[in-house]
Structures are given as structure tokens and as C-alpha cells.
Amino acid sequence: MKESQDIESATVQLSPVLETTGLPGLPDSKERRYDRQLRLWAASGQSALESAHILVLGASPTSTSILKNLVLPGIGAFTILDDGVVEGKDLGANFFLETDSLGKNKAEEAIKHLGELNDSVAAHAETRALESILDDDPTYLHKFSLIIAENIPQRILERVTALLWDSSTGAGDGDADADASQTVAPPLIVVRTSGFLADFGIQLKEHSIITTHSDSAASLRIDKPFPSLLAHAFSLNFDKMDVTDHGHIPFVVILVRVLQEWKNDHAGKAPSTYAEKQEFKQRIVKMKKKDDEENFDEAVAQAYKAWTNTIVPSEIEALFNDPSTKNLTANSDPFYHLVHALQIYTSQPPHTLPLSATLPDMKSDTKSYIHLQRLYKEQAAEDKARFTDILRGIEAGAAGAGGGGSVALGMVDDFVKNAHALRLIRGKKWTGLTDDVEALTLAREMAPAAVATHLSLSALYAFEGKNGRLPKPGDGADREEMTAWVKARLTATGWAPEPEPEDSAMTGADEEEEEPMPKEITLWEHVTNAVGEVSRAPAAELPTTAALMGGMVAQEVIKVITKQYIPIDGVCAVDLASSTTGTVKV
């Protein structure tokens, strides 16, 4: 109570300077508290976070670290499920338990100390055992936005993954019951840690992202100028301009004009050979009235845009052919309606994505720049209107078929703005790499260290599943058993230990390259290191490992919940002994 009052009284200060200006006042307390993150995911991301309810299985050090990083930015609610009692070893590694917690329920104690980080977050404890929930109340799990499972024994984990995967009918299945209303089970993040090693992966059916925050910029359409841009480029009389104005013509205008003139001389073709491209650049240089005209230098530097064909990127094209777009129903995710509308849109001339209204900064005077910006904005608005018409048409058709509402305007805006950088991730049921021979074969070549870490953790789980106990720390026989398990998985992919150096030199029949690769650590050395590390301290919840995983997993949760930025697609393996990470596709 007291604390929240303090925030309020600290904020309601009005700004004397802004009085009578008609400008909005200072940011409110919430905007100020979340200022540093709103600069990343904006109000839309924040409101998604605030609507989410996360379930975490187990009040381990890693679990509370993850939650800390979600409570601070203001997740709506969280629940910790744990039927255990706090022991000395728990609170020694867990910052969110204290001495008073000893002997009490772990979930209840942890939520107390996590909850105090942010008054606006609802904290719940679930003290039933996970297995009894799975037995008696399996739909319990479905009410959450996302579930995190850390260090859950294999036997129980398999029940959780199956429950969530099999009950979820992603539209991607494209099967007979596609018309039925879908149940989308919450995504599950599986986290495993052992001493210095850890890994995690996300089990989700599909995840579409509009606001990817991609670094790639949308096309400026230099090669396919829209009519008002082309007209503008030719409305200017470059020769008659005074030196100052000439030095402030935006490079976009210069390029559009030079390209059109070039095409007129070259049967409508853009420069294609190296010589032509050089000649094109020379044309621009020759137009300079003064040596130091930066706008012309910018035009030369950006000249490649003149011969970069503005087409629909292949990744976006792939979305058109996605089963979910093909088998669109009234109940499909709005994303697929938008993609379908985009497909129709791009099938019409000029066969490009809708224009982006965003114009980068460039050397120019204010008037020329603002004018050019207005041309882009107007065309972008026109393109969006055409896109929206198509979309509404699709929706009307769906409504006739008994389907639902229309995509919100804000989402249409975002979609059009980011149409060049959309992403779709399709996941698999979480099994790790254990049984996926194809993925493992590829991964062991691409990322041997990550594969070694991942398989060693899997070996630990398999050991525990088989023997009903964890390996004894440092025990040779237990280590051998885990090593053998890993070797069997690798052998199944056709892998064999690297032959002795003399052997490979003698036989030469091997398809492996003969060149010595000095000091390159082999897959098997990685495995020996990783299994050795797991064997050293099989169940150690190292606080730094927990904190690091807490950060990484929280980043992924934020990305999944806000549908902004791009979550991992595969398994991320972390080795804090060698200070490395790697991601392998599963």
C-alpha cells in the first residue's frame, strides 16, 4: 500500500513549463517505471505481457531467476507449482528464499519474495504435486499463457509434453478437423541444468511474428517507383537549380531519375553487368555541380538499389504456400488471413509488398525531405487501403461461412509496415535430439560442442529414468554409463569415433579430409568434457548458471508473449565452463 502511494505522489507532478502549450504532460508513473523496456517493445508489447499468466513447475533457483526477470517488467500473473519444503540447500542457491523459509512450502515462500518486486503482478502458489495434477486435473495446465518446466524428471516431463502437444491442434496440422475450433495449448519451455551446463528449448506448435524488429529495411522502390515518385523526380530541373538546392536533392530522387533515364537508353533494362554498374555510378558523379555534394555521394553509395529487384522475398512467398494459409478457415489465426490478403495483393501489379511509409534520413533540405516523405506516406496509405479492401473481402467471405470478426486496424498497420520481415516458426514436440537421427546428424557436424552439452544432459535424464537415482558425483561407473548412452545416440547417426591419426593417414580411404586440423576439438572430446562435467556435480544448481538461464529463458518468454523479436528455433545449449553457447535445430 505504502509503496504504491509513494509512486503516485512522486508522479502526479505537473509540468509548469508545459502548461498552456497544449502538449501532453510528463509520462505517468507506469511509463516512467517501464521507460527502459518500453523503448524496446512499446505499449503493445507491454500490454501483452500484462495479460499473460505464466506457470513455472518447481521453485528451483533457475525458476525463480526466470520469474524475477518477468515480474520486474510487469508480467500479469505467475504461478509457481511446488509441493516441496524449503531445505538449507534450496535457500543457499536461491535468492528468493530466506532463512525464515526453512521448513515451509517452497512455492509459497518463493512467491512471497518474488511478489514484492512489483506490486502490479499477481503471484500464486500451487502446492499440489505435479503428478497428481496430471492424474486428476490435467486441464489445469491449459489456463496459462506459457509454462516453464525446469529439471523435471524425464518420466514426468514426458507426460507434460504429451499433454500439451497432443491436446493442441495447431492450424498447421491442416487435417480433417481443421474446421473445428482450435485448442491451442500453452507453449512449454523445457530447461535443464547441471553444474556449469544447461540447455533449453521451446515446445510450440507455431508462432507467427509481425514485429520482428528486423534490421533489414523495406524497399524504397527505386527500381519500381510509384507514379508520384517518378513524376516528382522528373518535375525537378537539376541543371537550373542553384548550387545549394542541387546539393540537397535527396539521393532517392537522384537515383529514380538516373535509373529511368538509363532505362530509356537501354531498352528498359537496369544496369546488370559490372561495367554497366560502374557506368551508372559515373553518370551520377558527372551530375555533380561541386565536388563535395554529399547527396550525390549518397546516391553512388546506394546505387545498388537501382539494380536490386523489388520482389516479394522468398521467405514471404513461402508463407503463401504454408498449409495454414492454404487451408484458411474462418477461425484461422488473423496472421494467416493477413498473409492470404498479402498473397492476393502481391498477385496484382506492381507485384510488390505494400510500400513502407518509413523513409530513412538522408542529405536533404527540410522541404525536399518532407515533400518526399509525404509522397511515401501517401502511397503507403493508398497501398494499405488496397490491402485492407482485400482483407475485408476475405473476412466477408468467411463471415458468410459462419466465421468470425475482422482483424484489428492496429494489427493491419503493423502487418503492412513489417510485411518484408514477417516470420513463422513451427515447432515440434519436445524430445530433444535424442530420437531425431536426421537432425542429430546435421547438428553434430554443425555444432559439435552444443550437441555434446545437450546429449550429456539427456544422458543424465536417461540415467535417472533408468536407475531411479542420479549419478553419484564423480563416480566412474556412472560416468561410463552416461558416456555409453551418448555414444549409442551418436552411433545411430552413423558416427564413429575419429580414427587414430596414424590410421587415417595410412588408409586414406576415409572420406574425411586428409588435411590435419590442428587443435580442433573433436566431437568426442566435447562429449568427454560434457559428460565429465555432468558427472562432477550432476544435481548442482549453480547460482550463476541459474541466473544466466534465468535471463535467457526470460528473454524467450518475453519474445513469445509479446510476439516481438524472434524466439529460438531449436535447442540452445550453454557451457559455462568454456563460456560458450550454441543453438541446434531440432
CB closer to other proteins, 295 vs 329: 295
Q: Which of 170, 172, 225, 567 binds other proteins (CB under 8 A)?
A: 567
- Spatial separation of the C-alpha atoms in residues 517 and 545, rounded to whole Å: 32
Residues 299-358 contacting other proteins, CB under 8 A: none
Q: Is 10 in the site for other proteins (CB under 8 A)?
A: yes
Enter the C-alpha cell of residue 26: 510528463
CB closer to other proteins, 8 vs 435: 8
**Pair 316, 227: CB distance under 8 Å:** no
Q: Which of 78, 144, 196, 387 binds other proteins (CB under 8 A)?
A: 196
Q: Which of 29, 167, 331, 434 binds other proteins (CB under 8 A)?
A: 29
Three-state SS at 413: helix
Q: Is 414 in the site for other proteins (CB under 8 A)?
A: no
CB closer to other proteins, 167 vs 434: 434
CB closer to other proteins, 229 vs 398: 229
Q: How far is the CB of 204 from other proteins (least distance, A)?
A: 14
CB closer to other proteins, 72 vs 184: 72
DSSP secondary structure, 63-108, as one string: HHHHHHHHHTTT-SEEEEE---B--HHHHHH-TT--GGGTTSBHHH
Q: Is 103 in the site for other proteins (CB under 8 A)?
A: no
Side chain identity, residue 120: S
CB closer to other proteins, 31 vs 261: 31
Applying CB under 8 A, which part among 97-105, 324-332, 433-441, 496-504 lies near other proteins? 97-105
Residues 367-406 contacting other proteins, CB under 8 A: 369-370
Q: Is 494 in the site for other proteins (CB under 8 A)?
A: no
Applying CB under 8 A, which part among 264-272, 464-472, 487-495, 498-506 lies near other proteins? 464-472
Enter the C-alpha cell of residue 78: 505467475
Residue 290's contacts (CB-CB under 8 Å, 6 or more residues apart) are 243, 247
Q: Is 39 in the site for other proteins (CB under 8 A)?
A: yes
Site string for other proteins, 261-300 (x = CB under 8 A): -----------------------------x----------
Residues 227-266 contacting other proteins, CB under 8 A: 242-244, 247-248
Applying CB under 8 A, which part among 30-38, 137-145, 266-274, 491-499 lies near other proteins? 30-38
Residues 64-93 contacting other proteins, CB under 8 A: 65, 68-69, 72-74, 84, 87-89, 91-93
By rule CB under 8 A, what count of residues binds other proteins?
A: 115
Q: Which of 142, 464, 495, 498 binds other proteins (CB under 8 A)?
A: 464
Q: How far is the CB of 160 from other proteins (least distance, A)?
A: 13
Place of cell 533457475: 62
Q: Is 34 in the site for other proteins (CB under 8 A)?
A: yes
Q: Which of 136, 265, 361, 438 binds other proteins (CB under 8 A)?
A: 361
Site string for other proteins, 118-157 (x = CB under 8 A): x--------------------------------xxx----
CB closer to other proteins, 239 vs 361: 361
Q: Which strand ranges, in their side-by-side order, compose the sheet holding 122-126?
A: 122-126, 77-81, 53-57, 146-150, 188-194, 197-203, 571-575, 580-584
Pairing state of beta strands 146-150 and 53-57?
Answer: parallel
According to DSSP H, which parts of 405-475 are helical?
Answer: 409-417, 437-446, 448-467
Residue 426's contacts (CB-CB under 8 Å, 6 or more residues apart) are 170, 172, 205, 206
CB closer to other proteins, 199 vs 223: 199
Three-state SS at 352: coil
CB closer to other proteins, 11 vs 434: 11
- Spatial separation of the C-alpha atoms in residues 456 and 558, rounded to whole Å: 28
Measure CA of the first residue to CA of the last residue in the chain; give whole Å: 48
> Max alpha carbon distance in the chain (Å)?
89
- What are the angstrom distances between the C-alpha of 189 and each of 9, 164, 364? 40, 11, 49
**Pair 231, 253: CB distance under 8 Å:** no
Q: Which of 552, 500, 553, 489 has the alpha carbon at shortest distance from 522?
A: 500
Q: Is 190 in the site for other proteins (CB under 8 A)?
A: no
Residue 470's contacts (CB-CB under 8 Å, 6 or more residues apart) are 460, 463, 464, 538, 539
